[in-house]
Homo-oligomer: A and B are copies of this chain.
Amino acid sequence: METLLNKPRLKSLAAQHRLDALVATSPENVTYASGYWALSQWIRRGPQVYVLLPVEDVEQTRVIAPTSLLDQLVDQEDVWVQHVSRYGFFHVDRAEGAMTPLDDRLLSLFEQPEEKDAISALVQSIRSLGLEKGTLGIDEMGLMPGHWERIQQELPDAKLVPAMRLFREIRAVKTPQEIERLRRVATIAEESVAAALKVAQPGISEIEMARVFHAATVQGDATPVLGCLGFGTRSAMPNVYPSHARLKAGDVIRFDCGGRYGNYRADIARIAVLGEPDKKLAQYHKALHNGVMAAFDTIRPGVSSSAVYEAAMAATRKSGIPHYQRSHVGHGIGLDGYDMPDLTPTNEQVIEEGMVMCVETPYYEFGWCGLQVENTVVVRKDGVELLHREDGALKVLA
């Protein structure tokens, strides 16, 4: 089946690092590696779910999960992993008579041996795959304090290597399934902005407009995550969140926003102005737009991230904001809102086909307003493909 996980890239990068197995521990990496979205791990910090990926035979991949979360493992279509270790007690009752196939599968998982905790289950899984003397790349992000030391103590012959960064490298090149989700969620964000701007009129508050925005997001079966929205001078605050401030004629409306759909994130910006823009506004926005378009013209497989940065900065400065400064002009996006690569002046990471990026040129002028162009693209053989309909041009509202 299609997977979120880029298996060839996993194998090739793990081999480069001479790893025998990888262990995902943070929610993003667990979902990425297995397709499994484990509720408590995502909505709280602390619950432990792991995926053990043996590099030589990825089909032997194993999920380690608390018994109480196994129902989601059998119910989620994204899950491709067949092998499961469970830990902890959880009681369910069982009716007389026939079960659905889903119930049967779940009850069979409940019959597996119960390990006492997450680390015991992980260690036991590593042993069962004969990897206890191997080199193990462990995503350090999702472990709790003391866990790393305990794994090393229980597997004294294993070599443990931090792998959070390596997981990010693997995730940087998206599979077709990931690209379709990123397209869908970016489109939902764009449509949600359009819905919200329909209620723009003098006197509406940021919070009232945000309600319309989020309602459109949930209508698209996405979950609200990022919802920066500010009017007028407030729009200059980089992370402006909706307040009771009210819209006035001539105000800029800045959205920097995006939800989560099928676990994948959106992050786009849209700028509107209530009435005709003055000359400065039109010129500055156009310059920022030119910056993003210059980046698009530059992006193709083989180009460095820093070259994209330079192209965007040069175009923005040349076409209307000579004093423009910015530490980055974008970033990858996927399960996390900031995937690789970062488009900074010093990042020599090479752009690859299948990367998905948010390219952005924000401008924050206190006492005036904030402007921002941010679009999402996938890198194709010969350039970029936009993952939504609009290109971020200034929206002039009547």
Q: Which residues of A pack against B, CB within 8 Å?
A: 26-28, 39, 43-46, 68-69, 71-72, 75-76, 89-100, 103, 106-107, 140-145, 148, 162, 207, 211, 214-215, 217-219, 221, 223-226, 228, 233, 236-241, 243, 323, 325-327, 336-338, 363-368
- Name which residue of chain B comes closest to A37, CB basis: B241
Whether A326 contacts B91 by the Cβ 8 Å rule is yes
List residues of chain B with CB within 8 A of the CB of A72.
237, 239, 241
Whether A211 contacts B218 by the Cβ 8 Å rule is yes
Sample of 12 more A-B contacts, CB < 8 Å, known A90-B238, A214-B218 = A43-B225, A43-B226, A45-B141, A68-B239, A76-B241, A91-B327, A92-B366, A95-B365, A97-B367, A99-B367, A143-B145, A211-B219
Q: What are some 21 contacts across the A-B interface (CB < 8 A)?
A: A39-B228, A39-B241, A43-B226, A43-B337, A44-B338, A68-B239, A71-B238, A72-B239, A75-B237, A75-B241, A75-B243, A89-B327, A90-B327, A93-B363, A95-B365, A100-B367, A141-B144, A215-B215, A215-B218, A218-B218, A223-B224
- Name which residue of chain B comes closest to A141, CB basis: B45
Given known contacts A94-B367, A366-B106, is B221 in contact with A224 (CB within 8 Å)? no
List residues of chain B with CB within 8 A of the CB of A224.
218, 223-224
What 4 pairs across the A-B complex have the smallest Cβ distances?
A95-B367, A71-B237, A95-B368, A214-B218
Whether B92 contacts A238 by the Cβ 8 Å rule is yes
Whether A233 contacts B103 by the Cβ 8 Å rule is yes
The one of B103, B215, B240 that contacts A366, using a Cβ cutoff of 8 Å: B103
Whether A92 contacts B207 by the Cβ 8 Å rule is no
List residues of chain B with CB within 8 A of the CB of A239.
39, 68-69, 71-72
Question: How distant is the Cα of A140 from the Cα of B46 in the complex, in angstroms?
Answer: 11
Whether A93 contacts B218 by the Cβ 8 Å rule is no
Question: How distant is the Cα of A140 from the Cα of B143 in the complex, in angstroms?
Answer: 12
- Name which residue of chain B comes closest to A368, CB basis: B95
The one of B39, B76, B100, B214 that contacts A233, using a Cβ cutoff of 8 Å: B100
List residues of chain B with CB within 8 A of the CB of A162.
145
Min Cβ gap A69→B in Å is 6
Most buried by B among A26, A145, A226, A326: A145
List residues of chain B with CB within 8 A of the CB of A219.
211, 215
Whether B45 contacts A94 by the Cβ 8 Å rule is no
Min Cβ gap A227→B in Å is 9
Whether A106 contacts B145 by the Cβ 8 Å rule is no
List residues of chain B with CB within 8 A of the CB of A214.
218, 223
Most buried by B among A140, A162, A241: A241
List residues of chain B with CB within 8 A of the CB of A228.
39
Most buried by B among A69, A72, A96, A214: A214
Min Cβ gap A357→B in Å is 17
Most buried by B among A221, A225, A363, A367: A367
Most buried by B among A90, A98, A142: A90
List residues of chain B with CB within 8 A of the CB of A99.
366-367
Min Cβ gap A53→B in Å is 20
- Name which residue of chain B comes closest to A225, CB basis: B43
